[in-house]
Amino acid sequence: MVKSGKIKLLALVLTLALACTALPLAALADGEVTLYKGDDTSDGIIDSRESGYLQTPAGHIGDTISVYVPVKNSSGGTLTNVSCSLPVSTDVTVFPFENPDETKTSLDAKAYQVADIGTHALVAWNGDSLDAAEHAYFKLDVTFGSGANAGYYSVPFTIKYDGGTSTVNLVVYCRGVDTGGSGSSSGSSYKSKPKVIVEAYEFVQSPIYAGDTVQLRMVVANTSNREAVTNLQLDYTCESGAVIPAPGGSSSIYLGTIDKNGVRALTVNLQIAPDAEAKSQVLAVTLSYEGTKNRSDFEEKASVNVPILQKARVRINDPVVYDDPWVGSTVSMGVTLYNLGKSPLYNCMVDVTGEGFTLEEGYFGGNVASGSTMNADLSIIPTVGGDLSANVRVTYEDVYGNQTEQLLPLTMFVNEDTPMDSPLPDEGETTPEKTGMSWIVWALIGAVVVAGLIVLFIRLKKKRERALEDL
């Protein structure tokens, strides 16, 4: 019994030891690494002291760029042995770079941490531990490959740590082939001003509906080959009021300095008004800046088109059949459409699809204004009897020509025999008119016979009287 008790006590101790060992591993398994956006309150405010590390990397094909991967420990516990790598892929959409070593299946990034709270300078880090809510950076130098096209790329980086793995996607921008050349200009070109333009833009969401909050990615480029620009500020407005800054955002964004022939990629959060008209709204962009050589003030104008849609709210009643269906006879039916949305519906059409009937003609309703109805009347001719199943097809378009199709089930029972307005008389059957004429004739004949019998009776009576008188 004593030996049995010792065994049970030893088993209990081992169980507790294993449980205590597993607790940190379980915490790590639940850990998660996310992209650090420069704020700890998720209000979109980027820490300007680290803005240089948080910018979207950009460059031409053949350019080597430094990609900073800002990561944050969102697990609630400490992560250990943290590392970052970029998997090599033949898919240019996720790996638009050159592979410096064909034997490698991934590219390892160098780790850094913020060393000083005042300057926010980065220092080398071995990735040994990352506390909860703490952030760090990984840096990887890559070169855009010849197979890349101009545009944005979402590049997946793998973050490994004891007990788990996370994937974070970082956006980079390829400017395509460099056609601007480099070097300083000669002659009187020094008098020309450095020109800043909106080189490219795109919306992360598509389509864009009224009431949405959307992200606008923009690339601002300094086209000058001889002079950098500084104190660059971007302001945007929408005259109609349909597009405004998202909550917590501003219509003025400070971009700072752009080197000669350099770019700055940024993301702007916009709010679309719920009652915005469904059309392409214009966002007017103003770029104000200074040249670094003569410190003159400059300003450039640009525009961004925001294609806005109103969500279609359409109600369509079930098809109504007005006639008793017979094979070979026309059957009338109707459908009513209600436009409950805030924008018109364009090129509305109604027809019927299926087998066992022919459609005389589809219905074209044209445009249906907001708050209006469309009553579509159709005629079909069943070609077979019995249960008939078909679909009433309703199509309409938005302001950009995008078509929507809705199918409504249509069922009916078709009678086999052909209905007649009045039955035809059988052969030999006397019509009512002929029956009436025959009765009159027979009545006349009967009257003549009766009259003849009366005359004959009178004559016989007189003859009998004369015979009696002779006796």
pLDDT per residue as tens, the chain (471 positions): 445 555 454 444 444 444 444 433 333 334 489 988 875 443 344 556 677 788 889 999 999 999 999 999 998 899 999 999 999 999 999 999 999 888 889 999 999 988 766 666 789 999 999 999 899 999 999 999 999 999 999 999 999 999 899 999 999 999 999 876 544 444 444 456 789 999 999 999 989 999 999 999 999 999 988 899 999 999 999 999 999 999 988 999 998 899 988 899 999 999 999 999 999 999 999 999 999 887 789 999 999 999 999 999 999 999 999 988 999 899 999 999 999 999 999 999 999 999 989 998 899 999 999 999 999 999 999 999 899 999 999 999 998 889 999 999 999 999 986 555 545 555 555 555 544 456 677 777 877 777 777 877 777 777 776 666 665
pLDDT at 38: 74
Q: Give the per-residue SS3 of 42-84.
A: CCCCCCHHHHHHHCECEECCCCEEEEEEEEEECCCCCEECCEE
Q: Would you state the CATH architecture of domain 314-414?
A: Sandwich (2.60)
**What is the distance of C-alpha 424 from the center of its chain?**
63
Q: How many alpha carbons lie under 13 Å from residue 155 in its C-beta half-sphere?
A: 32
Task: Tell me what pLDDT residue 187 has.
Answer: 44
98 three-class SS: coil
Note whether 33-174 and 194-309 share their fold.
yes
Sketch the domain layout of the chain as residue ranges: 33-174, 194-309, 314-414
CA distance 409 to 432: 49
Euclidean distance between CA atoms 147 and 145, whole angstroms: 5
What pLDDT is recorded for position 323?
86
Question: What class, spelled out in words, does domain 33-174 have in CATH?
Answer: mainly beta
194-309 in CATH: which number?
2.60.40.10
d(Cα 87, Cα 107) in Å, to the nearest integer?
Answer: 6
Distances 131 to 37, 76, 113, 128, 462 between C-alpha atoms, Å: 17, 8, 12, 10, 153
Rounded distance, CA 40 to CA 132, Å?
Answer: 12
Strand arrangement of the beta sheet that strand 213-222 belongs to: 196-203, 213-222, 263-272, 243-245
